[in-house]
Structure 1
């Protein structure tokens, strides 16, 4: 079965965006080096990463066959031009946005909950992993026991306020295994296996 991997950049004090939804500070590492890396998809971007970050990014993204995210991330990203660089994208939402779905787009909308969204993304991933974006979607996956790995790009910045990644988890304490650690420029890449809740009756 396809693994489900949460992927987020986060400040050292736990924020994935500032109070105005800005993410520039936690993504500074995407322009911190000399290794040029161009994403695919309909709206490709070019990053300039340190050698260590480039190796981490290539290894991680090569594992992915689909992506799962929330409505907020979808809106901020402008729908990725209709096709995400990591494969078919599944957007967890209450209602399909106006003007979507679109012809020649691999963006799909799931309105019947996180379990259905994960199942659809796994089926579309072709045996590869599903990458999960967005703080709320990651929290839902954690609480439902559907997350296999937590990948955090820990940026060397303190934001002090904003959108926190791990607020309001219900299935806690959650046990993580020992991380794989890669030190980049201005960022530490951490990959934790998710072992499950230690709460009696918790998931996994």
Structure 2
């Protein structure tokens, strides 16, 4: 069985988006290099450094399903019906949209969403891609790892990744470190006591 991994690009001061949910300052590393990394959709082909490309290819190959929150689903317009990873997506919401893309499922809790995503992923990993959902998964003991794409920018304000944990402090083991161009990829394992 794969792991449940929270993954985000984050500013040095701990933000995953600006106050208006903007991410332009945080995802420049996905387009600042010479190595092309295609995805499952035509509109999202990345060009990154060799180190980041190797990291991204390995990460993408290991993903079997994604868990996201309704807010992320809405601001991305459901990724046009297909997430760039090309894997099933489970959206945590109490109000599923009327127009549901075929590759998306909807669940009323993080526990139910992770269960559905694990079933869909088989032996591959489940990636949690929303701040509030990652917090809820960590609080519920569902996360195995946290991967941070740390970007050398200070946003000063915005959306924090783990702002309202109820189980803090949470100990992490690692990190494994990969230095890219304009980003440092950090992989931590969640310590279970």
Structure 2 length-normalised TM: 0.96
Q: Distance in 2 between matches of 1:95 and 1:147?
A: 24
1:148 matched to 2:147? The reply is no
1:98 matched to 2:98? The reply is yes
Q: What is the total number of aligned residue pairs between the two structures?
A: 192
After superposing the two structures, state which structure 1 stretch, 147-156 or 72-81, moved more.
72-81
3-state SS of paired residue (2:174): coil
1:189 matched to 2:146? The reply is no
Alignment deviations for residues 14-58 of structure 1 (CA, whole Å, 9 cap, x no partner)? 0000111110001110111111111104x6411110111101111
Residue in structure 1 matching 2:173, options 147, 172, 177: 177
Partner of 2:106: 109
CA RMSD of aligned residues (A): 1.2
The 5 Å alignment of 1:55-204 reads 55-86=54-85, 87-99=87-99, 101-102=100-101, 105-111=102-108, 113-196=109-192
Q: Distance in 2 between matches of 1:2 and 1:141?
A: 16
3-state SS of paired residue (1:191): strand
Partner of 1:30: 30
Q: Distance in 2 between matches of 1:6 and 1:178?
A: 15
Q: Distance in 1 between matches of 2:2 and 2:50?
A: 28
Q: Distance in 2 between matches of 1:38 and 1:72?
A: 26
Alignment deviations for residues 53-73 of structure 1 (CA, whole Å, 9 cap, x no partner)? 101111111111000010111
3-state SS of paired residue (1:159): coil
Q: Distance in 2 between matches of 1:129 and 1:33?
A: 27
3-state SS of paired residue (2:171): strand
Q: Distance in 2 between matches of 1:44 and 1:69?
A: 20
